[in-house]
Amino acid sequence: MIAELGLAALWLAAALAALQMAVGFMAVRNDGASELAGLIRPAAIVQGVLVAFSFAMLVWLFAVTDLSVKLVASNSHSMKPLVFKLSGTWGNHEGSMLLWVTVMGLAGALIALVERRLPERTMNATLAAQGVVSLGFYAFLLLSSNPFERLPTPAAEGMGLNPLLQDIGLAFHPPTLYLGYVGLSVAFSFAVGALLTRQVTPDFARAMRPWVLGAWVMLTVGITAGSYWAYYELGWGGWWFWDPVENASLMPWLAATALLHSASVLASRDALRTWTIMLGVVAFSMSMVGTFLVRSGILTSVHAFAVDPERGTFILVLLGIFIGGALLLFALRANTISEGERFALASREGALVFNNVMLSSILAIVLLGTLYPLLTEAFDVRVSVGPPYFNPVGAIFVIPMLAAMAVGPLLRWRQDRIDRIGREVALFAALVLAGLVLFGLLAEIALLPLLGLAFGLGLAVASLLPLRRRKLGRTPLATWGMVVAHFGIAVALIGMASESAFTKERLAAVAEGGNATVGPWTIALQGVEPVAGPNWTAIQGRLAASYDGGEPHILTPQSRNFWAPPQQTTESALVTRWNGQLYAVIGDRAPDGRWQVRLWWKPFVPLIWYGGLLVALGGVLALLGRLLSDLRHRRLAVRIAERRADREALA
Amino acid sequence: MNAPKPKHQRLVLVVLALVALVGAGLLAAYALRNQASYFYLPGQMLADPPEVGQAVRLGGMVEQGSLETAADGVTLTFAVTGNDGSRVPVRFSGIAPDLFVEGSGVVAEGRLGPGGIFIADNLLAKHDENYVPRELQDMDQHQAAQMAEETTVGLE
């Protein structure tokens, strides 16, 4: 009964999306005069409620492990801890797509409830565009991936969830990324809506900006968490692999970062109108391309879950319709959008444009590298593209972008001279140069990590300069947001460079009671014992690690065996110090009884993720700042209107 | 510098963006031709071996009965076979991934060493018990195991 309720709600929501689309487009055509136009907002709100109800029903089915539902039977198990039963709802293809439309439906409902800034006609066009996108995904779910499908006879027991997904980090990682993807779909709808009505104004950018900011924060958190998860759960000691699945989340982030900056220019300076629209379309295209790559299994990836070529085709068709349609519309309308305010090349806008172009170039490089194996395979040549391509080619564009990040925020809007900020530029250049010389002489470091350390150092200091000579308490939150985010990039960069420059690795076969050393650490293998969890058994090593002869820390890396489904996983053990992390993995037993132990000493590696979190925090601050100032403006507008009404009443 | 005229400015921006994007594309195309680490099947590696020391990937099935641990306890040797009976010996120092067993698919990242032994820095086995390198998908597990058995020869 629960499953049928969920399915019915899903069909109703789809019908409302169709209504929203049809009425929305009619209203735009008839200049908003359509009598039915009043239906659009309620339709969006009810659609959001229905799809959320449908998702809640699926969560319920997973919580009680209803084995008559195919999805539950093939992805869950009654013995699983409750939190993983719940997260199992989206740990599979159907559930994650339902989560996607749920978030989209709720986003549509929210726009319909709160957005009053846009002209009503643009609003209708935006909700109509949102209806189109939602409808595509409803069709996808209902026609090819029904999450509520029943089994002819209930299963006796579930097949279980992939053990790698049974990790608290991964339980909440995909929904975070999805919130990001879906936020970009809202930005896409805004862009299409504005194109339809030719109303590309600062107001449009202000309405779109919180969505882009929110999506960008979620993507940042998702990528950071995903990278940390891969680092500690996969047991290979790496944090970025240039795997298609990772690139699938990086590409929308790059586009969203560019969009965020250009939407800011449009909102506050009324420039870059067409460029912002274009990026709105591109950003969502990238999240669709990402979904397609992840879901279709078309590229060999080490961590693609829930792969099915038929569904890949469906997503590809959706991608073609949405993106092709939007690009066609863009081509037809772009030259009717009048250009906004002018600015000199040496200005804040100029630096932002430069940064946008660099980000787009990096995006192009990542996209080409990710799709290249597909292209060559058409000619029967099998190729895999990895770090030897992405790192140096990306760096060519990342480095000028870092320089622009350091200098741009110091420039004035509209028109400025570089020599006015000569001292700051000189400071940045001096820091970078000092870093190059210092690290270059101190240690033997490869070129890229060396550049990373030097530019990270320069940017860390330069990113704080916009706060100089300001009263910190009265500095707008949005400015704080920018400073924190840019500083976060510097911190992450230093972490990445430090990891690749200074990591020490040791692989040893150690007998119980024996020792191994790595960097400043001495590690003693005290013993190896069997342990058991709720749905696994494991071999657990007990390692006593002491830094430079200090107090020992106890590490317990495990090699786990899950029985449903049967699979082995590696649980690494970590010790975090202020200056880095010790990472330990236990492997197999050699025939002579010694145990394989793999140890890494990674100086300053946590900075990678602290930096990522700072970047996200910067986004949150900016978002809060915008929302608060919007609220203030709205209150002010109300007060002015009241006063005018009073005066008129008196007169 | 004065703010340029709108038409002019738009043109400058478009040209700038185009130059950068085309530049990025050309650079990518050039680098992809030269720097992509290529994927080899055992047969291809034998017929047309990459230069010694060049970073490449080797994909295939781990030959049944070929897996051995060396005396240091951390070095593995095994052979990777293709679906045409070809085999390449591989040496790997490290902890093998969880799903790395004889008869399953593997992608080894590394370089060809002197003497035709592939020195792997990294082994990739997918996080899925059913993983077969996509390049070998046309051969099912049973066939692979059978073929591997027929071609089993001890490693020197």
Which chain B residues are closer than 8 Å to A388 by Cβ?
Answer: 35-37, 55
Average pLDDT over residues A226-231: 88
Pairwise CA distance, residues A317 & A311, whole Å: 10
Residue B147 lies in a domain: no
Q: Structure tokens of A609?
A: 């993720």
Pairwise CA distance, residues B99 & B82, whole Å: 19
pLDDT computed for residue B129 by the predictor: 38
User: Percentage of residues in chain B with pLDDT exceeding 70?
Assistant: 70
Angstroms from A570 CA to nearest CA on chain B: 7
Q: Structure tokens of A578?
A: 């202020």
State phi, psi for A378 to the nearest 5 degrees. Answer: -60, -30
pLDDT computed for residue A304 by the predictor: 43
Least reliable range by pLDDT among A120-134, A243-257, B38-52: B38-52
Confidence category of residue A213, pLDDT binned at 50, 70, 90: very high
pLDDT computed for residue B146 by the predictor: 39
Helix (H), strand (E) at residue A521: strand A521-532
**CA atoms A535, A538, A542, A543: torsion sign:** negative
User: Percentage of residues in chain B with pLDDT exceeding 90?
Assistant: 10
pLDDT computed for residue A494 by the predictor: 96
Residue B117 lies in a domain: yes
Q: What 3 state SS string does A179-223 have?
A: HHHHHHHHHHHHHHHHHHHCCCCHHHHHHHHHHHHHHHHHHHHHH
Residue B86 lies in a domain: yes
Report ipTM for this prediction.
0.76
CATH of the domain at B51: 2.40.50.140
Average pLDDT over residues A54-78: 89
pLDDT computed for residue A246 by the predictor: 86
Question: Does the beta-carbon distance from B127 to A302 stay under 8 Å?
Answer: yes
* Helix/strand number for chain B, H first, E second: 3, 7
Report how many Cβ contacts below 8 Å link chain A to chain B: 149
Angstroms from B70 CA to nearest CA on chain A: 9
**Model confidence at B147: pLDDT above 70:** no
Using CB atoms, pick whichever of A300, A365, A592 lies closest to residue B133.
A300
pLDDT computed for residue B56 by the predictor: 81
Least reliable range by pLDDT among A251-260, A372-381, A610-619: A372-381
| Closest chain B CA to residue A341 | B6
Q: How do residues A434-466 score in pLDDT, each as one tens digit?
A: 999 998 888 788 999 999 999 999 999 999 999
Helix (H), strand (E) at residue A569: strand A566-571
**Model confidence at B36: pLDDT above 70:** no
Question: Does the beta-carbon distance from B96 to A587 stay under 8 Å?
Answer: yes
Which chain A residues are closer than 8 Å to B98 by Cβ?
Answer: 559, 567-570
Q: How do residues A545-555 score in pLDDT, each as one tens digit?
A: 999 988 999 99
Mean pLDDT of chain B: 72
Question: Does the beta-carbon distance from A598 to B94 stay under 8 Å?
Answer: yes
Phi-psi region of A524 (alpha: psi -120 to 50; beta: other; left: phi over 0): beta
**Model confidence at A279: pLDDT above 50:** yes
pLDDT computed for residue B71 by the predictor: 81
Spatial neighbors of B130 by CB under 8 A, at least 6 apart, are none
State phi, psi for B106 to the nearest 5 degrees. Answer: -150, 150
**Model confidence at B143: pLDDT above 60:** no
Pairwise CA distance, residues B87 & B63, whole Å: 8
* Residues B5, B9, B10, B14, Cα dihedral to 10°: 160
Q: What 3 state SS string does B68-117 have?
A: EECCCCCEEEEEEECCCCCEEEEEEECCCCCCCCCCCEEEEEEEECHHHC
Phi-psi region of A368 (alpha: psi -120 to 50; beta: other; left: phi over 0): alpha
Confidence category of residue A218, pLDDT binned at 50, 70, 90: very high
Cross-strand bridge partners of residue A310: none
pLDDT computed for residue B153 by the predictor: 27
Question: Does the beta-carbon distance from A343 to B9 stay under 8 Å?
Answer: yes
Q: Which of B36, B42, B30 is nearest to B139 (CA)?
A: B42
What 3-state DSSP class applies to B14? helix
pLDDT computed for residue B17 by the predictor: 84
Mean pLDDT of chain A: 88
State phi, psi for A236 to the nearest 5 degrees. Answer: -110, 5
- Residue recorded with tokens 């399953």: B104
**Model confidence at A258: pLDDT above 50:** yes
pLDDT computed for residue A372 by the predictor: 86
Contact A401, A493 (CB under 8 A): no
Q: How many domains does chain B have?
A: 1
- Greatest mean pLDDT among A185-199, A305-319, A414-428 lies in A185-199
Confidence category of residue A564, pLDDT binned at 50, 70, 90: low
Q: How do residues A528-538 score in pLDDT, each as one tens digit?
A: 999 988 878 89
Residue B78 lies in a domain: yes
Q: How do residues A344-356 score in pLDDT, each as one tens digit?
A: 778 888 899 999 9
- Provide the whole-model pTM: 0.88
Query: DSSP letter at A383?
Result: B
Residue B108 lies in a domain: yes
State the residue range of the domain holding B66. 38-125
Burial-class residue A270 by CB neighbours within 10 Å (0-12, 13-18, 19+).
middle
Best of B54, B95, B129, B137 to disrupt the A interface by mutation (most A CBs within 10 Å)? Answer: B95
**Model confidence at B131: pLDDT above 80:** no
pLDDT computed for residue B98 by the predictor: 66
pLDDT computed for residue A457 by the predictor: 95
Average pLDDT over residues A554-560: 92
Pairwise CA distance, residues A306 & B78, whole Å: 31
Residue B5 lies in a domain: no
Pairwise CA distance, residues A185 & B89, whole Å: 49
Question: Does the beta-carbon distance from A360 to B94 stay under 8 Å?
Answer: no
Pairwise CA distance, residues A609 & A80, whole Å: 30
Confidence category of residue A398, pLDDT binned at 50, 70, 90: very high
Contact A507, A548 (CB under 8 A): no
Q: How do residues B70-124 score in pLDDT, each as one tens digit?
A: 888 788 899 998 877 889 999 998 877 766 778 877 888 888 888 889 999 888 7
Cis peptide before A565 (omega within 30 of 0): yes
Which amino acid makes up residue A111?
I
**Model confidence at B138: pLDDT above 70:** no
**Model confidence at B140: pLDDT above 60:** no
What 3-state DSSP class applies to A423? helix
Q: Structure tokens of B18?
A: 């185009």
**Model confidence at A497: pLDDT above 90:** yes
Residue B136 lies in a domain: no
| Closest chain B CA to residue A593 | B73
Least reliable range by pLDDT among A66-75, A536-545, B135-144: B135-144
pLDDT computed for residue A511 by the predictor: 92
pLDDT computed for residue A309 by the predictor: 62
pLDDT computed for residue A296 by the predictor: 66
pLDDT computed for residue A37 by the predictor: 81
State phi, psi for A526 to the nearest 5 degrees. Answer: -80, -30
Residue B105 lies in a domain: yes
Q: Which of A154, A158, A109, A157 is nearest to A131 (CA)?
A: A109
In our burial notation (b when 16+ CB lie closer than 10 A, e otherwise), range A188-220 reads: bbbbbbbbbbebbbbbbbbbbbbbbbbbbbbbb
Report angle CA B89, B95, B98 to the nearest 5 degrees: 95
Burial-class residue A546 by CB neighbours within 10 Å (0-12, 13-18, 19+).
middle
